[in-house]
Chains A and B, each alone.
Chain A
Amino acid sequence: MSLAKRIIPCLDVDNGRVVKGVKFVDIRDAGDPVEIARRYDREGADEITFLDITATHDNRDTIVHVVEQVASEVFIPLTVGGGIRVLEDIRRMLNAGADKVGINSAAVFRPEFVKEAAEKFGSQCIVVAIDAKKVSQEGEESRWEIFTHGGRKPTGINAVEWAVRMKDYGAGEILLTSMDRDGTKSGFDLALTRAISEAVSIPVIASGGVGNLDHLADGITQGKADAVLAASIFHFAEYTIEQAKKHMQARGIEVRL
């Protein structure tokens, strides 16, 4: 027995409320983030990730208050992503009680930001979030590219090469989301997950597409991920975290129960 594979529920937060978009449109309200975080903690979540999707800059303070409140009563690692663009954003989140921050488009615009962030705050708190989409055609060797703007804007950057570069720049972990699968409930892009996980020496969190508990287990056994992230299957109480862990354990995966 050794290190457990992690289950990480993700809360997409818009103006202080948890929402879940399907392919980043059609947003459903799923409740109060502090209350939901408390429930996930009780059910045995290994970490909690908050993704701030608040569009207007003025309302960004709401996520800080959410993190502060959660951090004062939930004692597991907390990650905050969304709108992290400058070192001051990171400091603000860490001071609010976050343990890690997720950097996404800011890394694409200026990769050195990841280097600066890791030097300033340590690799352990820098998660680079990668949104990737398959660009190869049927019959070709699989190839994925980085997309920004919620999956709408291609960058021409090869996803596997990007992950390696981000690791070299000091990322402590990769949060990998398949934009083809996000919100579809058809399972992770396992080939993508495996390609990235085998290319980097740092932990990889698989994200995007979980619709049932076998999908979570597949992310570990076939995708070779170190952790699996899901949102809607937990928010709408289709499954509890505990059920998910027991299912993974039954599939031969080591979990914290």
Chain B
Amino acid sequence: MSSVAVIDYGMGNLHSIAKALQHADSRVNVQITADAMVIRSADRVVFPGVGAIRDCMQALNESGLADVIREVAQSKPFLGICLGMQALLTDSEENDGIACLNIFPGHARRFADQMLDGDGNVLKIPHMGWNQVKQTPHPLWQDIPDHSRFYFVHSYYAAPDDQRDSAATADYPQAFTCALAKDNKFAVQFHPEKSQTVGLQLLQNFLAWDGNA
């Protein structure tokens, strides 16, 4: 039986993601854990997160999980979600600038205030709701139609230094990177665990993925 560790560092509710992983594949052993040993021995690792980046990085650094994440992100299929994606970047503009894990070179930037949609209405921040995702070919998009809608809720977005790390974009109103991919690592800004059929498919793809792009 394969296993997936969902990293628990006190940032948000992990039950949704655990339930969705279990639903995506009933045979997989899903563990919500803060234990470095369990994370190291799992076949796959999910790194979720909601909230503010300062609290996130503080929790990761104080618990020592930052080093564990850097280590397992080199070796096994690894999925970052939402704040877990932003934390993989070099740094974030949030909370007056916070150094992050630097696994994907790049920056988390805030959406500009007073952006307008096509009809001249001011776009709300956070970017909240179902938006279309334009894919770059990757095994994790298998059986998911291009431009499918996923559920987002965030005010900051990833700006990778190397555009080749971008695995998908969404428009708000300009295109921004909403998925990152490199080697065995994949990360998404949206919430697959809240994105109904297409979200469950992405999680199922992750649970079947060998980590080769």
Residues in B neighbouring A2, C-beta threshold 8 A: 117, 131-132, 170-173
A-B contact count (CB 8 A): 102
Known: A46-B130, A71-B19, A76-B151. A224 touches B51 (CB 8 A): no
Q: Is the CB of A172 within 8 A of B128?
A: yes
User: How far in angstroms is the closest Cβ of chain A from B59?
Assistant: 13
Most buried by B among A2, A72, A76: A2
Chain A binder among B8-16, B33-41, B72-80, B100-108: B8-16
Residues in A neighbouring B117, C-beta threshold 8 A: 2
User: How far in angstroms is the closest Cβ of chain B from A168?
Assistant: 14
Q: Is A227 an interface residue (CB 8 A)?
A: yes
Q: Is the CB of B151 within 8 A of A77?
A: yes
Contact of A123 among B126, B151, B193 (CB under 8 A): B126
Residues in B neighbouring A96, C-beta threshold 8 A: 15
Residues in B neighbouring A24, C-beta threshold 8 A: none
Q: Is A61 an interface residue (CB 8 A)?
A: no
Chain A binder among B136-144, B158-166, B194-202: B194-202
Contact of A202 among B52, B125, B173 (CB under 8 A): B125
Residues in A neighbouring B124, C-beta threshold 8 A: 201-204, 226
Secondary structure type dominating chain A contacts? loop
How many residues of chain B are within 8 Å of chain A by beta carbon?
Answer: 41
Residues in B neighbouring A75, C-beta threshold 8 A: 16, 19-20, 23, 193-196, 199-200
Query: In the complex, which residues 31-47 of chain A have their Cβ closer than 8 Å to any Cβ of chain B?
Result: 41, 46
Q: Is B26 an interface residue (CB 8 A)?
A: no
Write out, one digit per residue, whether chain B residues 18-34 have a CB within 8 A of any chain A CB (1) or not (0): 01100100000000000
Residues in B neighbouring A71, C-beta threshold 8 A: 15-16, 19
Q: Is the CB of B128 within 8 A of A122?
A: no
- The CA of A2 and the CA of B174, in the complex, are separated in Å by 9
Q: Is A4 an interface residue (CB 8 A)?
A: yes
A-B contact pairs, 6 of them (CB 8 A): A2-B173, A3-B172, A122-B52, A172-B128, A198-B122, A202-B125
Apart from A4-B130, A41-B196, A97-B15, list 5 A-B contacts with CB within 8 A. Answer: A1-B171, A6-B130, A77-B151, A201-B113, A226-B128
B-side interface residues toward A, CB under 8 Å? Answer: 12-13, 15-16, 19-20, 23, 50-52, 113, 117, 121-132, 147, 149, 151-154, 170-173, 191, 193-196, 199-200
A-side interface residues toward B, CB under 8 Å? Answer: 1-6, 41, 46, 71-73, 75-77, 94-97, 99, 121-125, 172-173, 198, 201-204, 224, 226-227, 256
